[in-house]
Amino acid sequence: MKSTLNFCPVCGYDKLAEPPRNRTGGASMEICACCGFQFGVTDDDQNISYDDYRQQWIADGMPWTSTSKKAPKGWNPQTQLGSLALRATLSRVKGRPPRMAAILA
């Protein structure tokens, strides 16, 4: 999996121009081409959480929202959401996961 900080925490799209939030918490104001979430507006001004927006995007059928930028070839929103879930899981793991041989021993 590509390691980047420039992924959308709503839908998992990993080609944002910059991180959604900088180190001091300021928003990028970028609009995710995939789900349409605008960092600093949708969350801060409209008070919509990443989880709530994601649920609505899923309920709407996970459409590609940009009209100026085409979806990447072979784009699959389910796979993208799976990558987001994996990132969230790995960020919760403290230290290095145990090796399989150690678990089976």
> Which has the higher per-residue pLDDT, 104 or 34?
34
Taking CA atoms, 54 is separated from 7, 42, 44, in Å, by 14, 12, 16
- What is the distance between the terminal CA atoms of the chain, rounded to a whole angstrom? 29
Question: Which tokens go with 39?
Answer: 């960092």
The total number of structural domains in the chain stands at 1
**What pTM did the predictor assign?**
0.79
pLDDT reported for residue 105: 44
Interval 33-89: pLDDT, tens: 999 999 999 999 999 999 999 999 999 999 999 999 999 999 999 999 998 888 877
**Rounded Cα–Cα distance for residues 55 and 61 (Å):** 10
pLDDT over 90 (residue 18): yes
**Rounded Cα–Cα distance for residues 98 and 22 (Å):** 32
50: domain range?
1-105
pLDDT reported for residue 67: 96
